[in-house]
Amino acid sequence: MSFLDKLRRQPEYIRKLILWAIIIIIGLGLLVWWIHSSYWKIKKFPKEEFIKGMNLPNLEEDKMGMPEIPEGELEELEKIGDEVKKAEEVE
């Protein structure tokens, strides 16, 4: 008697149990393979080349300071600031 004949003679719940056990084992095997494969792909990813390819500005070299405000405009901004303070006090 072959294995398939023995399996066919089992009750339906046993056959379903065997089917689900096989599906779970295969699924776990594929999951382990996928995690292992992803780990090595991430580990071998060329990070430096990827960052260089993006052409990002170097923030250490290109430090941006506050923009210079001409003297006349600075006085106007101070006047506007004073008016805002007065308006806040009125409320």
Question: What pLDDT digit, counting tens, does each position of 30-50 carry?
Answer: 999 999 999 998 888 887 787
Q: What is the pLDDT of residue 61?
A: 58
Q: What is the pLDDT of residue 24?
A: 98
Characterise 44 by phi-psi region: left (phi > 0), alpha (psi -120 to 50), beta (else).
alpha
**For 1-91, where are the alpha helices, taking DSSP H only?**
3-8, 12-43, 47-54, 71-90
Q: What is the pLDDT of residue 13?
A: 94
Q: What is the CB-side half-sphere exposure of residue 8 using CA atoms within 13 A?
A: 5
- For the chain, the domains span 1-56
Q: What is the CB-side half-sphere exposure of residue 15 using CA atoms within 13 A?
A: 10
Collapsing DSSP states into helix, strand and coil, what is residue 45? coil
pLDDT in tens, the chain (91 residues): 798 889 889 999 999 999 999 999 999 999 999 999 999 988 888 877 877 777 776 666 555 666 677 777 878 888 888 899 888 887 6
pTM of this prediction exceeds 0.85: no
Cα–Cα distance between 55 and 76 in angstroms, integer? 40
Taking a C-beta distance cutoff of 8 angstroms, is the pair 77, 69 a contact?
A: yes
Q: What is the pLDDT of residue 60?
A: 64
